[in-house]
């Protein structure tokens, strides 16, 4: 999934509970599914951000390099402006891009 093109809301909005549980009929399972998916998205975002910031890592730290690294600051700001992982997970659920596999007992 491309996080850069996510159409998720960047601010908190009110959701109708009935719309969220339409395919599952169990609100608790829906919440667990959303939390697991948002954790997956969060881990992917952190790994991607860490990988991009590693390019700017240096073995010697001097004060001028820390304040002059504009590219690193821009990358960090971009990731701060992205929608939150929970909003991305809810957007996937609402747009039927998220599914749940149930293990048979």
Token output for 31: 């919440």
Domain count, the chain: 1
Q: What whole-number distance in Å separates Cα of residue 25 and Cα of residue 22?
A: 6
Among candidate residues 83, 78, 81, the one with its CA nearest the CA of residue 8:
83
Q: Is residue 75 part of a domain?
A: yes
pLDDT tens-digit profile, the chain (105 residues): 566 677 787 777 888 877 787 777 788 888 899 999 999 999 999 999 999 888 876 666 565 655 557 788 888 888 888 998 988 998 888 888 887 777 775
The pTM assigned to this predicted structure is 0.79
Q: Is residue 12 part of a domain?
A: no
Which residues span the domain enclosing 61?
A: 18-94
Q: Is residue 71 part of a domain?
A: yes
Question: What secondary structure does DSSP assign to 22-62, as a single string?
Answer: TTTS-HHHHHHHHHHHHHHHHHHHHHHHHHHHHTT--SS--
* Confidence at residue 91, expressed as pLDDT on a 0 to 100 scale: 87
Q: What whole-number distance in Å separates Cα of residue 80 and Cα of residue 63?
A: 24
């Amino acid at each position: 999934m491309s996080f850069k093109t996510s159409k998720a809301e960047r601010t908190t909005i009110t959701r109708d509970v009935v719309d969220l549980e339409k395919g599952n009929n169990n609100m608790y399972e829906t919440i667990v599914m959303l939390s697991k998916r948002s954790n997956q998205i969060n881990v992917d975002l952190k790994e991607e951000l860490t990988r991009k910031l590693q390019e700017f890592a240096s073995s010697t730290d001097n004060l001028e390099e820390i304040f002059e690294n504009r590219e690193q600051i821009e990358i960090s700001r971009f990731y701060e402006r992205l929608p939150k992982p929970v909003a991305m997970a809810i957007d996937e659920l609402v747009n039927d891009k998220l599914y749940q596999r149930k293990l048979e007992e």
